[in-house]
Amino acid sequence: MKFRILGISVLLASLGLIAPINAEQREQYLQLLQTKECRSCDLVNSDLARADLREADLRYANL
C-alpha cells in the first residue's frame, strides 16, 4: 500500500515538472510559425516537418 501511494506521488510530481517545459516549447513553436523568428528557441520535440520555414530566423535555436 505504501509503495502504491509513493508511486502515485512520484507520478503526479513528475507531471507537474514536465508540463511547464512543454508549455514553453509550445509557446516558442507558435511564435516561430507566426513570426518566422525564434532565436535561441528549444524546438527539439517540435514537429516542423510541414512548417514553412523559408527565411525563418533560427539563430542559436536547438533543433
- Walking along the chain (63 residues) 10 residues at a time, the average pLDDT comes out as 71 54 83 92 88 94 92
Euclidean distance between the first and the last CA atom of the chain, given in angstroms as a whole number: 43
The full set of domain ranges for the chain reads 1-63
Residue 57 has a CB neighbour count (10 Å cut-off) of 13
Does the global pTM surpass 0.75? no
Torsion of CA 60, 37, 49, 17, to 10 degrees: 70
| Residue showing cell 501511494 | 5
